[in-house]
Each structure stands twice: as structure tokens, then as C-alpha cells.
Structure 1
Amino acid sequence: MACWSAENATKAYLRALKMGKRGKEPDVAEFISAIAAGNNAQLMVMTCAGVTGPTALALVAAARQTGGRVVCILNSLDFYDASRRALGNYADCINFVIGDAKTLLNDYESADFFLIDCNISDDKAVLRAAQEGAKHGGALIVGYNALHKGPGGRSPDEFNTHFLPIGEGLLVIRKGTPSKAGYGVSTRRRSHWVVKIDKLTGEEHVFRITSPHPKEIKA
């Protein structure tokens, strides 16, 4: 995966913010979009526990910034119909696949970004399948709704794992980078995003702030 692009991350973040129709209130979907676009992801594969929505829009926003494409794995045709209705015109920007995520993830060895809903059935096995299926050097695996899931599917010997206390929790794993911190949360510096609105012009400015001594943030 390419080096981090702050420009791509910022533009995707703002695009996702507008696509989500939440005005100027940021949410976890925008952070996901920034992570994917900032890493210049070209093939983004996501799994959902049910009907998809803001997180899919986040990847669409990232794909528009990077020129990539999005695949969404659903386990039911009922979820497919409902997801298309929820996404409206943006549904045509996503390639939907119906089936078992644990099996289908192996079909996307060239993917450089995986987004896993940790509320999915057997989430640990799905995360592990994404880890084992990712053949792209430096691929990112992001689990959302991970706040109460613990270390599920993490391998301290092979994966460098980060937990970000954003929304319901983001679990970030970079494939191919050995972890020096051991099992659990990385000891690297944490960062967070701040959105500032210019009261005079209405312009949005996004800053990524890194703290050398991170404190626990309650979402």
C-alpha cells in the first residue's frame, strides 16, 4: 500500500461527511473513509452483519478519491435489497456479493483494504479469514463495532494491532508488519481527527492530531 496521503484522507473525510447527510457532525464512517483514502486503497472489501449504510458510503467516498472500487459481502438477499434501498443511487458504486464471508474473503487476495463488521456472526473467524486471505503487502484490515469484542482473531506474532476508541471501536490491523508490542493494543502514538468550522466563511478544516502520551477516550 502507498504512503499515507493526508490530502486523500481529508478530501474523502469531507466527501463522506456530505454523503452521510449529517451536516457538520463527524461520525465513525468518516474516519473509516479517511483511513482507506489516506492509504490510497484500490480494492476495498467489506462485510456487514445486516443492512449496509454509512460505512458503505464511507468506502464509496474513499474510492472516488483514490480511483478504487468497493465490494460488499452480504449473507442474505434480503439484506441486499434493503441495502440498495438504503444507499439509493450510491448502490451502483458497489459490487455486492452474497454468501459466507469466511469463504468469500479468500477470493480477494489483491484487496488492500478490508472492513469487517464485528457484529457479524462468528466475527473472530471472519477477522481471521481476512487476515489469512490478505496477500497484498501492507494491506489494512479494519474491524468496526469492535468495542466489546476484545482481542478476537488477533495474532500477536504476525499482525500489528491497534485499537482506536472511535464510535463503537475500530480494530486496525496492518498485514505484513510484525507487532513489537505483543498481544493487544499497540504502544505507538495514537492520533485523532478534529474538524474546525470557520464561522465567517463556513469552510471546514480537518486536522490529524497525534499525542505522544495518549489518554483513554470514552466514545
Structure 2
Amino acid sequence: MKLVWSPEKASKAYIDTVKSCEIFRESSVAEMISAMAAGWDAQMIVETWSRGGVMATSIGLAVANYHTGGRHICVVPDEDSRTEYVEAMENAGMSPEVVIGEPEEAMDGLIGIDFLVVDCRRNDFGRILGVAKLGHRGAVLICKNASSRIASDFRWRSVLDGKSRIVRSVFLPVGKGLDIAHIGATVTGGGKKGGSGKTESRWIRHFDRDSGEEFVIRK
């Protein structure tokens, strides 16, 4: 199985997020991320947040989770961040799960992540991506608050474990920048030629310096 896009869920989440984020300025990031999470029918939505952060994206993810019926979990670094986050989300009428701790500890019990949003302004965002246990259906990974400079230097493969197949990655100049990667579904069984007659698959990667996109083509 793999992630399958649902235009209907994406549309509903987008509209509901617009309504829920009316009090926030420049909520386009929240609306886009919410539509993506709902459209891919994410069952395990994980985000990172720290004290003083903007709440619009978190509200958008909670809206998406309502439409997918999965889990929405926020990883925060300390108790102060947890208190502020919970209070803000409760005021918005939402109550996602919250996990406190360092990336390796906090992410340990979160298995099967298929939608992950991390903040590039957190110094440990690379560690979080490195220890994330992605779902077998594939996953969508998003780094928000990514400047164009960060995007030009950033390589998803450098922070992933090497076992994750990057189908496509792109930098979008939305808000303060979104760096997005689509991770392919886990392939089970042998891919090399053997008694069953199966042949080994080949993946050709191409990085477009002009657009900032990375393409992976299967042959």
C-alpha cells in the first residue's frame, strides 16, 4: 500500500483551516499544510513546536486530523512549551497529543509517521528527521520556516537514514519557506533477479538547480 491522494479531504481541510485561522495573519502556510495532510489521508501526523511559535500550522494539522481520523502529536522540548501549546490549542477547541523530550527520546515511541512537520529554526530539526520512524505507506516531510539559503544548501538525503526513497522534493516560497519531500512506500520482498524472474529496479536521481526540485525516476 502507499499514500493515496484524496482531493475531497484536501478541499474540506483547506476550507475549515481558512475558517479556523481567520485571526492569524498570513495563514497560507497553515492552509496548504492542512490540505496536504488531509489529502494524503495521514494517519500519524507529527509536528515540532517550541515556546513562542505561531499556532496557525498546529491548528491546521488538527483540522486535517479531524478529517483523516488519525493521530496528531506535537513534540515539544520542555514543560514550558507544553503548557503554552496545550493552552493555545485548547482555546482553539483542539487537544492533540503532546510529547516532551529530546528528539531521540520523544520520537522513540512514534512509529509509522506518514506526515511530519519540523521547524527549521530549531537547531535539532536534522536530528528529528534522522530518528523519525516513517510509515510503510510512505510519508510527506515538511521543513517550515526554511529560507531560500537553507533550501539551496539543504539535502534531504543528508538527514535521512539512506533507506528512505525520495520520490520528489521541492522548495516552495510560501510564508517563510517550505521545504517538502515525498518519501516512497516501503518495498517488501527481493528486487534482484532470482528464481522468480524479478529484475532489480534502478532509480535515477536528478536535481534541478533552477527550480530547487529533486526528481527520482524509476527504470
Shift of 1:169: 0.9
For the aligned residue pairs, the C-alpha RMSD in angstroms reads 2.7
The residue aligned with 1:186 is 213
Q: Which of 164, 170, 173 is the equivalent residue of 1:162?
A: 170
How many residues matched?
A: 186
Shift of 1:145: 0.6
Per the alignment, in what secondary structure is the counterpart of residue 64 of structure 2? helix
Distance 1:20 1:120 in 2: 24
Shift of 1:140: 1.0
The residue aligned with 2:38 is 37
The residue aligned with 1:70 is 72
Q: Which shifted more, 166-175 or 21-30?
A: 21-30
1:114-129 matches, within 5 Å, as 114-129=116-131
Distance 1:128 1:56 in 2: 22
1:81 aligns with 2:83: yes
Cα gap change, 1:47/1:100 in structure 2, threshold over 3 Å: closer, same or farther?
same
TM-score normalised by length of structure 1: 0.74
The residue aligned with 2:9 is 8
Q: Which shifted more, 16-25 or 95-104?
A: 16-25
Distance 1:123 1:149 in 2: 13
Shift of 1:79: 0.8
Shift of 1:24: 10
* One-letter amino acid matched to 1:143: C
Identity of aligned residues (%): 30
Distance 1:108 1:179 in 2: 31
* One-letter amino acid matched to 1:117: D
Distance 2:17 2:94 in 1: 16
1:111 aligns with 2:136: no
Distance 2:94 2:204 in 1: 38
* One-letter amino acid matched to 2:143: G
Cα gap change, 1:72/1:6 in structure 2, threshold over 3 Å: closer, same or farther?
same
* One-letter amino acid matched to 2:175: G
Per the alignment, in what secondary structure is the counterpart of residue 206 of structure 2? coil
Distance 1:153 1:11 in 2: 32
The residue aligned with 1:146 is 146
Cα gap change, 1:155/1:187 in structure 2, threshold over 3 Å: closer, same or farther?
closer
Shift of 1:89: 4.1
Residues 4 and 40 in structure 1, CA contact (< 8 A), matched pair in contact too: yes
Structure 2 gaps of 5+ residues are 186-202
Cα gap change, 1:6/1:91 in structure 2, threshold over 3 Å: closer, same or farther?
same
1:172 aligns with 2:180: yes
| CA deviation string 1:103-155 (max 9, x = no partner) | 4224222121111111112322223333xx21433111111111242343511
The residue aligned with 2:192 is none
Cα gap change, 1:135/1:26 in structure 2, threshold over 3 Å: closer, same or farther?
closer
Shift of 1:3: 1.6
* One-letter amino acid matched to 1:182: F
Residues 18 and 31 in structure 2, CA contact (< 8 A), matched pair in contact too: yes
